[in-house]
């Protein structure tokens, strides 16, 4: 029997390590000085374009078409917060892609990366996504799923990825990300085909290292462009760990990811890694309250903290998901403070694609009985 070696790293790389591993640079545009700053926070990974560029100097080394496209994207006739996505062709050959979005009329940021040179090795891992339902508190219906990675050990048992976190191979980590994106989008497409009216979403977990990989961003774009499901149905859960060492690079990567076409959700909110600066800087559509918060013993103090966070999220137009709900004791309170979704063993455990499809089928029947 051949034993497949699980070689996945779900622990996070620091931003700078990730930049080195991925041939990616951060870019920041300042409209006042008309400067495009392109930098790697570690070793020089795309040396040909690093530095502070005046737009006119940069366009000199680009081919004519991409020079014009870059100018139009950075200095549009009417500034908006639209995404910025430009293919940069160099006069002497080679292409890069610049992806990001405007933070204000005066600034924009994102990532620039080499395209079409996926270095992710075909590592053999028996990876199988499982799906945990995310339930709408309003009416108990299934709003979507979180896709969670499992691998099959040599005995044939499914294991969580946390069992593998001591192994440190960033390329294998990217393989995990690509497999999970693939699995989740296939599941999403099939569910949308079968149960279109449920308007489901699926949330995939990506690490900071994943975000700094051009091939992961490219894959996300092409999945979204395939239009197999509505554009907001594929979502990515991020933890602040990814911006731990280099906050600006983390924000630029999150902005670029969003520009590639997925909605972002801030995971593990309220645990050690989340901060208000992250909340203020990331264009996310929702937060997930960490079990550390939702499982705190009931007290007036805990209630104030939870309702304060919920108010803050709502004032930013973000949805709130309470995670780690193991019993129904707190559900009334969570509904009262404006939580939109709940996720936890009290409702459903992570399950295979087939089991999740059956689960959806029974929900659909219930709906039809009601109408
Ligand atoms: P996470 O993103 O916070 O995922 C939620 C974890 O909570 C999952 O564990 C889920 O099974 C578990 N959970 C759900 N409901 C309950 C509950 O009511 N009580 C308790 N005690 N736990 C509950 P899992 O699948 O073992 O994943 C653990 C962590 O591993 C995840 O935390 C995430 O950080 C990481 N992970 C899982 N899948 C992926 C993946 O595809 N990519 C990456 N990068 N990380 C992943
Ligand atoms: Ca998660
Ligand atoms: Ca979480």
Which tens digits make up the pLDDT trace of 130-161?
999 999 999 999 999 999 999 887 788 888 87
283 alpha-carbon distance from chain centroid: 11
Based on the fold, state whether residues 108 and 172 are members of the same structural domain: no
- Please tell me the predicted confidence (pLDDT) of residue 7: 42
**Ligand 1 atom nearest to CA at 130:** 25
- Report whether pLDDT(200) > 90: yes
Cα 147 from Cα 127, distance rounded (Å): 12
Based on the fold, state whether residues 83 and 144 are members of the same structural domain: no
**Ligand 1 atom nearest to CA at 343:** 15
> Which residues does residue 266 pair with via DSSP β-bridges, in sequence order?
238, 287
If pLDDT is split at 50, 70 and 90, which confidence band does 8 have? very low
Cα 26 from Cα 9, distance rounded (Å): 23
CB of 294 shorter than 6 A to ligand 1: no
Q: Is residue 1 part of a domain?
A: no
Based on the fold, state whether residues 265 and 289 are members of the same structural domain: yes
In the reported structure, the alpha carbon of residue 147 is separated from the centroid of ligand 1 by a whole-number distance in angstroms of 9
Q: Is residue 330 part of a domain?
A: yes
* Residue bearing the CA closest to ligand 1, atom 17: 324
User: Residue for token digits 């029974």?
Assistant: 362
- Single residue among 114, 142, 169 that ends a domain in this structure: 114
Based on the fold, state whether residues 142 and 174 are members of the same structural domain: yes
Secondary structure letter of residue 155 according to DSSP: T
Nearest to 90 by CA among 120, 60, 121, 118: 60
Return the best residue to mutate from 205, 211, 267, 272 for the ligand 1 pocket (most ligand atoms within 8 A of CB). 205
Question: CB–CB of 63/89 below 8 Å?
Answer: yes
Q: Is residue 366 part of a domain?
A: yes
Based on the fold, state whether residues 70 and 137 are members of the same structural domain: no
CATH number at residue 219: 3.20.20.450
**Ligand 1 atom nearest to CA at 10:** 44
Domain extent, residue 85, equals 10-114
Q: Is residue 260 part of a domain?
A: yes
Cα 93 from Cα 318, distance rounded (Å): 43
- Report whether pLDDT(12) > 50: no
Mean pLDDT of the chain: 85
* Residue bearing the CA closest to ligand 1, atom 33: 205
Based on the fold, state whether residues 133 and 105 are members of the same structural domain: no
Q: What is the pLDDT of residues 285-337, one digit of tens each?
A: 999 999 999 999 999 999 999 999 999 999 999 999 999 999 999 999 999 99
- Please tell me the predicted confidence (pLDDT) of residue 145: 98
- Please tell me the predicted confidence (pLDDT) of residue 172: 63
Cα 189 from Cα 224, distance rounded (Å): 11
* Residue bearing the CA closest to ligand 1, atom 14: 344
In the reported structure, the alpha carbon of residue 11 is separated from the centroid of ligand 3 by a whole-number distance in angstroms of 14
> Which residues does residue 110 pair with via DSSP β-bridges, in sequence order?
27, 100
User: Per the structure block, which two tokens stand in for 195?
Assistant: 């149960």
Choose between 48 and 31: higher pLDDT. Answer: 31
Based on the fold, state whether residues 224 and 246 are members of the same structural domain: yes
pTM: 0.88
- Single residue among 114, 142, 171 that ends a domain in this structure: 114
In the reported structure, the alpha carbon of residue 269 is separated from the centroid of ligand 2 by a whole-number distance in angstroms of 10
Residue 157: φ, ψ to 5° = -90, 145
What is the spatial order of strands in the sheet that 24-30 belongs to?
51-54, 35-39, 24-30, 107-114, 95-104, 83-89
Question: CB–CB of 296/302 below 8 Å?
Answer: yes
User: Residue for token digits 């924000």?
Assistant: 251
- Report whether pLDDT(37) > 80: yes
Number of folded domains that form the chain: 2
- Read off the pLDDT of each residue in 103-128 and give the average, rounded to a whole number: 74
- Single residue among 89, 114, 139 that ends a domain in this structure: 114
Q: Is residue 169 part of a domain?
A: yes
Based on the fold, state whether residues 161 and 94 are members of the same structural domain: no
CB of 350 shorter than 6 A to ligand 1: yes
Cα 32 from Cα 276, distance rounded (Å): 28
Burial of 366 (0-12, 13-18, 19+ CB in 10 A): exposed
Q: Is residue 2 part of a domain?
A: no
CATH number at residue 66: 3.30.450.310
Q: Is residue 99 part of a domain?
A: yes
- Report whether pLDDT(271) > 50: yes
Based on the fold, state whether residues 255 and 284 are members of the same structural domain: yes
Cα 37 from Cα 54, distance rounded (Å): 9
- Please tell me the predicted confidence (pLDDT) of residue 42: 54
- Please tell me the predicted confidence (pLDDT) of residue 131: 98
Choose between 16 and 337: higher pLDDT. Answer: 337
Based on the fold, state whether residues 96 and 132 are members of the same structural domain: no
Taken in order 62, 66, 68, 72, the sign of the CA dihedral is negative
Based on the fold, state whether residues 14 and 86 are members of the same structural domain: yes
- Read off the pLDDT of each residue in 333-359 and give the average, rounded to a whole number: 97
- Report whether pLDDT(60) > 90: yes
Q: Is residue 119 part of a domain?
A: no
Question: CB–CB of 87/66 below 8 Å?
Answer: yes
Based on the fold, state whether residues 152 and 85 are members of the same structural domain: no
């Amino acid at each position: 029997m051949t034993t497949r070696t699980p070689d996945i790293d779900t622990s996070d790389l620091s931003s700078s390590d990730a930049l080195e591993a991925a041939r990616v640079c951060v870019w920041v545009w300042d409209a006042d000085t008309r400067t495009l700053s392109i930098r790697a926070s570690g070793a020089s990974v795309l040396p040909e374009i690093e530095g502070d560029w005046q737009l006119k100097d940069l366009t000199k080394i680009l081919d004519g078409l991409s020079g014009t496209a870059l100018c139009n994207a950075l200095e549009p006739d009417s500034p908006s917060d639209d995404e910025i996505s430009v293919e940069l062709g160099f006069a002497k050959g080679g292409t890069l892609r610049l992806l990001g979005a405007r933070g204000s009329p005066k600034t924009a940021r994102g990532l620039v990366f080499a395209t079409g040179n996926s270095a992710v090795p075909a590592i053999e891992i028996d990876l199988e996504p499982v799906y945990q339902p995310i339930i709408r508190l309003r009416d108990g219906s299934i709003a979507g799923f979180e896709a969670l990675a499992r691998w099959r050990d040599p005995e044939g048992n499914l294991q969580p990825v946390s069992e593998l976190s001591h192994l440190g191979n960033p390329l294998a980590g990217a393989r995990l990300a690509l497999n999970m994106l693939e699995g989740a989008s296939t599941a999403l497409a099939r569910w949308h085909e079968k149960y279109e009216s449920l308007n489901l979403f699926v949330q995939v977990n990506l690490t900071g290292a994943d975000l700094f990989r051009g091939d992961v961003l490219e894959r996300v774009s092409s999945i979204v462009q395939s239009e197999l499901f509505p554009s907001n149905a594929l979502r990515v859960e991020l933890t602040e760990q990814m911006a731990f060492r280099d906050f600006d690079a983390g924000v630029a990567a999150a902005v670029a990811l969003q520009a590639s076409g997925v909605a972002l959700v801030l995971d593990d909110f309220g645990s050690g890694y989340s901060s208000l600066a992250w909340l203020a800087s990331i264009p996310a559509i929702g937060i997930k309250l960490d079990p550390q918060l939702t499982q705190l013993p009931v007290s007036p103090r805990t209630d104030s903290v939870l309702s304060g966070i919920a108010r803050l999220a709502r004032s930013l137009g973000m949805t709130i998901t309470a995670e780690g709900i193991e019993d129904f004791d707190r559900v009334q309170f969570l509904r009262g403070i404006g939580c939109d979704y709940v996720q936890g063993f009290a409702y459903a455990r992570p399950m295979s694609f087939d089991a999740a499809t059956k689960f959806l089928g029974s929900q659909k029947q219930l709906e039809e009985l009601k109408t």
